[in-house]
Amino acid sequence: MVLRPAVALAERHGREHQWPGRKRLSREVDPLSISDGELKDICDRLNSAPRKCLGYRTPAEVLRKKLLAQTRHVG
């Protein structure tokens, strides 16, 4: 099956709105059963994914910029 570009774009757009950790952190998973390493990996993956609402910057980039601005303002 060959997809037209508009169809492929619509399918990709639908996948982009799925929360990346949803499969890994379903409601059935006991939060206490997740190791610290696994939790760090999930956090790193979520914080390194660019977000449209952040101007295609990552949450880590936005946080770093705000912290630097606050440090310069205080110091």
Give me the residue spans of the domains in the chain: 24-74
Helical segments of the chain, H only? 5-16, 36-47, 59-74
- Region for residue 50 given its phi and psi (left: phi exceeds 0; alpha: psi -120 to 50; beta: otherwise): beta
pLDDT, tens digit (0-9, with 9 covering 90-100), for 23-61 = 567 888 888 898 999 999 989 998 999 999 999 999 999
Residue 25: partners with Cβ closer than 8 Å, 6 or more residues away: 31, 34, 42
Query: What is the reported pTM?
Result: 0.55
Q: Does residue 72 carry a pLDDT above 70?
A: yes
Give the amino acid at 14: G
